């Protein structure tokens, strides 16, 4: 074989590179997405783009082009609900400024292997960056502010790194919820109601949060009054908390600078802190194997909420806590603290001395290779994935999150899946105390109907098996 033939064979064996698709001011991002194929990069030039976009293809990159300080801006005008929704695998979103949406800036719906970085997100409603039910994700170098729930909210995910972000002027800075294998490192969480939360929300399909490292973050002056939607879980978070570890397990806290949080530096608690413990019997309520290693904590607890002031009186002290553990956590003997004398602590009870001093052996929780795309072999698989990746992010079974509980929806739409399916496609704001729901009109009519039937058949703690035929009310067969 001659050299030219050999080179030709080698070129054919290499993976195909995608093309670049350019979007300029006056064009639309969605039009570029519609023509893109796997591997393509969509270059979004400076301008203002008033649209909501949906990416349901794999291996697509949305990349802003920043020229002479001018960004591409997705502008919601406080009218549009969501900026970017994605369900594809291998999605990258970077260098985009997103402002004034009512729902979310970037929401992932079951996509694996996502990268969200270098974005600038301001006042986008409920969540800023919200990957839901995805595996192997990187969230880094984003700046977010003015979010009424969580600036960065990692929900029901696995293997996620959240690094080098700045989150401020929001209710919650960073939330790791019902998520496993997460690294939260070198973020600057300041001037929120609470800086960093690691917790379990009852009533969701995934019941656990564990194997989380919160390391080398700056958690400063998180004293912003809570402006979360009344009745939501986050609206119950007390003002002035640096970190909250609620019911999560195997959490290591190391190397953080935590200061100026007027209620407490770190709160470690069971589900009774802000939720109803009995709302999900499959969610174990206590935080187990919490390891507080060396951190720098000072000037916390200067003006705590009333409950903490009462605890301070029992110790005859006017100095608030760096670490506050409630009764349930205090009785967990596998929780530990390294060099406890360095901190002002309430409630650590039987905690032991930690037998490790560093988490330096863990540099990332990202997988060495890509996570496999989620298997979808049948329509039933697709429906279950849609429920977990979209619906469950806002609708716990019997607990208010962002939307009404599933139980309330079941009562309202009893034997009327068509009503839910129609609402999914064209949601309207019905209740003043709930934000508008993002449209899922991109789903086919058949899928919307089957997801509605699936939701009507849910029961506490278990997902129902739906046996339904076209045009009929679902027959729920509970296992």
| CA neighbor of 151 nearest in space, from 178, 176, 115, 180 | 176
| CA neighbor of 458 nearest in space, from 203, 178, 105 | 203
Residue 378 pLDDT > 70: no
User: By CB neighbour count within 10 A (0-12 exposed, 13-18 middle, 19+ buried), where does 7 fall?
Assistant: exposed
pLDDT at 473: 39
| DSSP element (H, E) containing 13 | helix 3-13
User: By CB neighbour count within 10 A (0-12 exposed, 13-18 middle, 19+ buried), where does 472 fall?
Assistant: exposed
Least confident of 49-53, 377-381, 455-459: 377-381
Q: What is the phi/psi pair of residue 382, to 5°?
A: -65, -40
Tell me the pLDDT tens digit for each residue of 135-148: 999 999 999 999 99
Report the C-alpha gap between 83 and 100 in whole angstroms: 9
Residue 156 pLDDT > 80: yes
Residue 382 pLDDT > 50: yes
**CA distances to 10, 57, 93, 305 from 373, in Å:** 28, 12, 18, 46
* Between residues 115 and 433, the one the model is more confident about: 115
Work out the average pLDDT over 380-393.
66
Q: 51 by DSSP, 3-state: which?
A: coil
pLDDT at 11: 39
pLDDT at 474: 42
For the chain, percent of residues with pLDDT exceeding 90: 57
Q: What region, left, alpha or beta, does residue 69 occupy, with left being phi > 0 and alpha being psi -120 to 50 degrees? A: left
Six-digit token pair at 57? 């293809």
Residue 375 pLDDT > 70: no
pLDDT at 38: 96
| CA neighbor of 443 nearest in space, from 391, 392, 408, 402 | 391
Six-digit token pair at 465? 């098996």
Residue 283 pLDDT > 90: no
| CA neighbor of 116 nearest in space, from 125, 127, 100 | 127
Tell me the β-bridge partners of 244: 197, 267
Q: What region, left, alpha or beta, does residue 415 occupy, with left being phi > 0 and alpha being psi -120 to 50 degrees? A: left
| CA neighbor of 383 nearest in space, from 454, 468, 460, 440 | 454
Q: 234 falls in which pLDDT band (50, 70, 90)?
A: confident
Report the C-alpha gap between 23 and 18 in whole angstroms: 16
DSSP state of 276: -
Report the C-alpha gap between 235 and 343 in whole angstroms: 28
Tell me the pLDDT tens digit for each residue of 12-27: 434 456 899 999 999 9
Residue 362 pLDDT > 70: yes
DSSP state of 402: S
Residue 53 pLDDT > 70: yes
Work out the average pLDDT over 379-407.
67
Give me the DSSP letters along 117-131: ES-EEE--TTEEEEE
Q: 67 falls in which pLDDT band (50, 70, 90)?
A: very high
Q: What is the pTM of this model?
A: 0.83
* Between residues 262 and 9, the one the model is more confident about: 262
Tell me the pLDDT tens digit for each residue of 172-223: 999 999 999 999 999 999 999 999 999 998 878 888 999 999 999 999 999 9
pLDDT at 109: 86
* Between residues 172 and 416, the one the model is more confident about: 172
pLDDT at 236: 86
| CA neighbor of 201 nearest in space, from 172, 232, 226, 224 | 232
Residue 56 pLDDT > 80: yes
Q: Of the CATH numbers 1.10.540.10, 2.60.120.620, 1.10.760.10, 3.40.50.720, which one belongs to the domain with range 379-477? A: 1.10.760.10
Residue 475 pLDDT > 60: no
Residue 238 pLDDT > 70: yes
Tell me the β-bridge partners of 249: 210, 288
Work out the average pLDDT over 383-398.
66
What is the overall mean pLDDT for the chain? 84
* Between residues 306 and 318, the one the model is more confident about: 306
């Amino acid at each position: 074989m001659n050299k030219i033939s050999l080179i030709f064979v080698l070129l054919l064996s290499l993976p195909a590179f995608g093309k670049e698709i350019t979007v300029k001011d006056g064009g639309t991002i969605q039009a570029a997405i519609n023509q893109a194929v796997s591997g393509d990069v969509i270059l979004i030039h400076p301008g203002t783009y008033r649209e909501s976009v949906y990416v349901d293809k794999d291996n697509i990159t949305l990349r802003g082009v920043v020229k002479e300080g001018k960004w591409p801006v997705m502008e919601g005008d406080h009218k549009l609900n969501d900026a970017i929704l994605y369900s594809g695998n291998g999605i990258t979103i970077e260098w985009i400024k997103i402002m004034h949406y009512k729902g979310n800036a970037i929401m992932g719906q079951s996509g694996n292997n996502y990268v969200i970085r270098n974005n600038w997100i301001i006042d986008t409603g409920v969540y800023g960056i919200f990957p839901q039910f995805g595996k192997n994700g990187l969230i880094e170098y984003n700046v977010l502010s003015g979010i009424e729930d969580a600036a960065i909210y990692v929900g029901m995910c696995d293997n996620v790194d959240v690094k080098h972000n700045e989150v401020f002027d929001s209710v919650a800075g960073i939330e790791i919820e019902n998520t496993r294998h997460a690294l939260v490192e070198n973020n600057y969480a300041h001037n929120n109601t609470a800086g960093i939360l690691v917790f379990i929300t009852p009533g969701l399909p995934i019941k656990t949060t564990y194997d989380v490292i919160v390391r080398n973050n700056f958690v400063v002056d998180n004293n912003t009054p809570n402006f979360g939607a009344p009745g939501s879980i986050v609206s119950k978070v007390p003002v002035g908390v640096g970190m909250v570890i609620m019911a999560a397990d195997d959490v290591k806290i190391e190397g953080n600078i935590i200061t100026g949080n007027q209620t407490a530096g770190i709160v470690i608690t069971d589900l009774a802190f802000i939720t109803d413990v009995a709302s999900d019997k499959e969610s174990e309520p206590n935080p187990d194997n919490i390891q507080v290693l060396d951190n720098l904590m000072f000037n916390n607890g200067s003006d705590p909420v009333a409950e903490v002031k009462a605890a301070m009186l029992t110790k005859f002290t006017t100095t608030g806590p760096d670490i506050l553990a409630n009764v349930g956590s205090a009785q967990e003997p596998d929780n530990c603290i390294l060099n406890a004398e360095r901190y002002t602590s309430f409630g650590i009870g039987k905690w032991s001395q930690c037998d490790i001093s560093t988490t330096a052996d863990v540099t990332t929780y990202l997988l060495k290779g890509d996570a496999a795309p989620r298997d979808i072999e049948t329509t039933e698989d697709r429906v279950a994935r849609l429920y977990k990746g979209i619906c469950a992010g806002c609708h716990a079974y019997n607990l208010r999150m962002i939307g009404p509980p599933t139980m309330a929806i079941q009562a309202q739409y009893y034997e009327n899946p068509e009503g839910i399916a129609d609402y999914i496609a064209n949601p309207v704001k019905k209740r003043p105390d709930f934000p508008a729901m993002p449209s899922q009109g991109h789903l086919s009519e058949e899928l919307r109907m089957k997801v509605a039937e699936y939701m009507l058949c849910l029961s506490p703690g278990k997902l129902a098996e739906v046996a339904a035929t076209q045009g009929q009310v679902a027959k729920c067969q509970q296992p």
